[in-house]
């Protein structure tokens, strides 16, 4: 006897998952919470019918559960963009029951706004990249606090450039500061030493993890692209061939200009508010280096500056065009060549 085909919506939480099972006609067969374990979810849904597809909102932990259901239960599970799902719901009330039902219904009619489910190795790389970003931010903040104390104490600028050996020696011995300020600066310097050690450790781990990665190694061949840029692009973009066009990739990276036109008024409103901010920052920083070292992008930047474009606009435009160009260079057939 054939089992009925069912569609499943999963509203994810750390301790439990709201599971909605719906048949092809939109009738709800079950909608109740279940333990956050793939086998218990499978057992509950199995009593209702044969799973055709399932949908789960993309959030922390959802990718891991989706992977388990795909590999162990044999389900076809898609992750959904939570922002799009919320707007499609158009309901001020929010409950786990209605959220799971909404996901199941979107899966059933084929309107689920899907996002890419990164494989485990890419998710592991993201863990290291985000940890490195946290350490780099902490290092920057410690340096800013030291500079703030120097300004407050009117201690001067010191010899040479900041953070060189000569400058650090002056900071520890020759800077004119009060006793308590000098002690606080010493604490910040000790924090900086600790952060530098931890940064070296995570970077060594990243280097070992990506030593044989073809995408990272290909990225490092381009002028102006260093290991941090290559690691970040690899972690956040994952696979270049999951995008249909370079323009789609640029939009994912948050590098597409935002159009603010209305009627006869034509205007730009900067870059779109989308994508990972750290990824966008790292690519724009790479664009500044490309303008200095790569003749192709140097020529483009000079042409834009001659047309009256500001430096920030030029850097963003180069970043946008470079990532669209990179899309074609990083296709599997080119990587294999």
Digit-coded pLDDT (tens) for 110-154: 999 998 888 999 999 999 999 999 999 999 999 999 999 999 998
CA torsion through residues 312, 318, 319, 320, sign: positive
Q: What is the pLDDT of residue 172?
A: 84
Residues 223 and 328 in one domain: yes
Domain boundary among 115, 139, 166: 115
Domain that holds residue 76: 5-115
- The domain boundary, picked from 91, 115, 139, lies at 115
Sign of the CA dihedral with 87 first, then 91, 97, and 103 last: negative
Q: Is 270 helix (H, G, I), strand (E, B) or coil?
A: strand
Domain check: are 191 and 226 in the same one?
no
Same domain, 265 and 323: yes
3-state secondary structure of 211: coil
CATH number, domain of 106, equals 3.30.420.40
- The reported pLDDT for the residue numbered 231 is 96
Predicted confidence at residue 304, as pLDDT, reads 94
Q: Are residues 222 and 332 in the same domain?
A: yes
Q: How confident is residue 89, by pLDDT bands cut at 50, 70 and 90?
A: confident
Claim to verify: residue 223 and residue 323 sit in the same structural domain: yes
Residues 330, 223, single domain; the answer is yes
Residues 317, 268: one domain? yes
pLDDT in tens, 239-290: 999 999 999 999 999 998 877 666 666 666 678 787 889 999 999 999 999 9
Residue 227 has pLDDT above 60, yes or no: yes
Q: Are 125 and 61 found together in one domain?
A: no
Mean pLDDT of the chain, nearest integer: 91
Tell me whether strands 5-12 and 50-57 are parallel, antiparallel or unpaired. parallel
State the total domains in the chain.
3
pTM for the full model? 0.86
Are 15 and 91 members of one domain? yes
Distance CA 221, CA 281 (A): 21
Q: What is the pLDDT of residue 1?
A: 43
The sign of the CA dihedral 199, 205, 207, 213 is: negative
Q: Do both 298 and 226 map to the same domain?
A: yes
Phi-psi region of 154 (alpha: psi -120 to 50; beta: other; left: phi over 0): left
Same domain, 237 and 325: yes
DSSP label at residue 240: G
Q: Among 86, 115, 144, identify where a domain stops.
A: 115
Sheet with 77-80, edge to edge strand ranges: 28-35, 16-23, 5-12, 50-57, 77-80, 114-115
Tell me the C-alpha distance between 100 and 331, whole Å. 37
Whether residues 151 and 193 fall in one domain: yes
């Amino acid at each position: 006897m054939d089992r009925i085909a069912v569609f499943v919506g999963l509203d994810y939480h750390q301790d439990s998952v709201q599971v909605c099972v719906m048949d092809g006609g939109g009738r709800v067969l079950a909608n109740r919470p279940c333990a956050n374990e793939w086998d218990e979810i499978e057992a509950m849904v199995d009593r209702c019918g044969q799973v055709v597809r399932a949908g789960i909102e993309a959030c922390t932990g959802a990718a891991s559960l989706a992977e388990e259901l795909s590999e162990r239960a044999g389900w076809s599970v898609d992750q959904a963009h939570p922002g799009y799902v919320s707007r499609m719901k158009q309901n001020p009330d929010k409950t786990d029951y209605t959220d799971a039902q909404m996901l199941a219904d979107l899966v059933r009619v084929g309107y689920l706004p899907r996002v890419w489910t990164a494989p485990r190795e890419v998710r592991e790389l993201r863990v290291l990249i985000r940890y490195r970003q946290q350490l780099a931010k902490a290092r920057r903040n410690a340096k800013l606090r030291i500079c703030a104390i120097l300004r407050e104490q009117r201690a001067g600028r010191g010899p040479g450039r900041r953070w060189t050996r000569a400058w650090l020696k002056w900071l520890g011995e020759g800077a004119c500061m009060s006793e308590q300020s000098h002690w606080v600066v010493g604490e910040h310097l000790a924090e900086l030493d600790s952060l530098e050690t931890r940064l070296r450790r995570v970077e060594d781990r990243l280097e070992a993890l990506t030593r044989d990665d073809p995408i990272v190694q290909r990225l490092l061949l381009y002028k102006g692209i260093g290991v941090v840029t290559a690691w970040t692009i690899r972690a956040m973009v994952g696979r270049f061939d999951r995008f249909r066009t370079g323009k789609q990739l640029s939009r994912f990276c948050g590098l597409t200009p935002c159009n603010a036109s209305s009627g006869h008024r034509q205007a730009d409103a900067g870059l779109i508010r989308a994508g990972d901010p750290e990824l966008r920052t790292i690519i724009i920083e790479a664009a500044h280096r490309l303008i200095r070292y790569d003749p192709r992008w140097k020529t483009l930047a000079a042409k834009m500056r001659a047309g009256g474009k500001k430096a920030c606009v030029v850097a963003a435009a180069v970043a946008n065009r470079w990532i669209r160009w990179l899309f074609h260079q990083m296709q599997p057939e080119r990587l294999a060549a």
